[in-house]
């Protein structure tokens, strides 16, 4: 607070000037000043409120635009998906119509040779053993050259005096160009076999033919 007489600075709570001793009067706000102050504060508050409302409106418009864009994009994707589905269905229908329209006589054309064995029978063959019991037993089974290249599974069970010499595993083989199926025993046997049971299967395990062969228990080649 400044002294109105000598303009000396004093504390706000001082009643007399510390320099000249003149009485100090606190400034009071007259009625007009108070009204002006309140008007300014109200005007400032109204201005702030107006800015807040404008900002909220802008945000609401922006959000509405985003939602509209997203909704339109999803609708477009659904339309594209539906169109793709229609195209796929149309393609299937066209393919079906094309296959139906093909001449019936084309179905009679000869198909390519199959790798799966067709109906075949055992027509003969031979068994060979070495000069010692440490040699494996070799079998050559004849099914005919018409089956050349066909795939089969063959099982040969060997025995001697009624006792099995092997487990008789099913072995996958391919008929050679001469119509033979050649297969060697998995192991050599302690005794020469005197009996062989041949089982011929297709690749799915269906039995095509079976044959039993009596052998002489000695080395060499024996036909049947």
Domain parsing of the chain, residue ranges = 1-83, 124-223
- Give the pLDDT confidence of 121-155 residue by residue, as tens digits: 999 999 999 888 889 999 999 999 999 999 999 99
The class that CATH gives domain 124-223 is: mainly beta
Least confident of 96-100, 106-110, 126-130, 134-138: 106-110
Which residues fall within 8 angstroms of residue 23, CB to CB, at 6 or more apart? 15, 16, 17
**Pick from 132, 184, 176, 121: nearest CA to 158:** 184
Q: What is the dihedral of CA 174, 176, 180, 182, to 10 degrees?
A: -60
* CA separation for the pair 138, 83 (Å, rounded): 65
pLDDT in tens, 25-84: 765 445 555 666 666 666 667 778 888 999 899 998 988 888 887 776 655 555 566 566
Query: What pTM was computed for the model?
Result: 0.49
């Amino acid at each position: 607070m400044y002294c109105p007489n000598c303009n000396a600075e004093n504390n706000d709570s001082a009643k007399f000037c510390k320099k000249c001793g003149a009485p100090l009067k606190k400034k009071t706000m007259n009625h007009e000043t108070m009204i002006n102050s309140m008007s300014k504060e109200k005007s400032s508050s109204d201005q702030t409120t107006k800015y807040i409302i404008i900002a909220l409106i802008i945000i609401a418009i922006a959000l509405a635009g985003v939602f509209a864009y997203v909704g339109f994009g999803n609708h477009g994707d659904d339309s594209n998906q539906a169109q793709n589905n229609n195209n796929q269905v149309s393609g299937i229908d066209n393919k079906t119509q094309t296959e139906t329209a093909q001449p019936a006589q084309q179905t009679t054309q000869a198909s390519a040779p199959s790798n799966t064995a067709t109906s075949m029978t055992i027509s003969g063959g031979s068994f060979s053993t070495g000069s010692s019991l440490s040699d494996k037993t070799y079998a050559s089974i004849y099914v005919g050259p018409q089956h050349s290249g066909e795939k089969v599974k063959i099982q040969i069970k060997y025995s001697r005096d009624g006792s099995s010499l092997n487990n008789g595993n099913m072995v996958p083989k391919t008929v050679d160009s001469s119509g033979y199926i050649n297969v060697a025993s998995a192991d050599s046997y302690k005794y020469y076999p005197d009996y062989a049971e041949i089982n011929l299967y297709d690749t799915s395990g269906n039995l095509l033919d079976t044959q039993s062969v009596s052998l002489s228990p000695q080395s060499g080649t024996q036909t049947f």
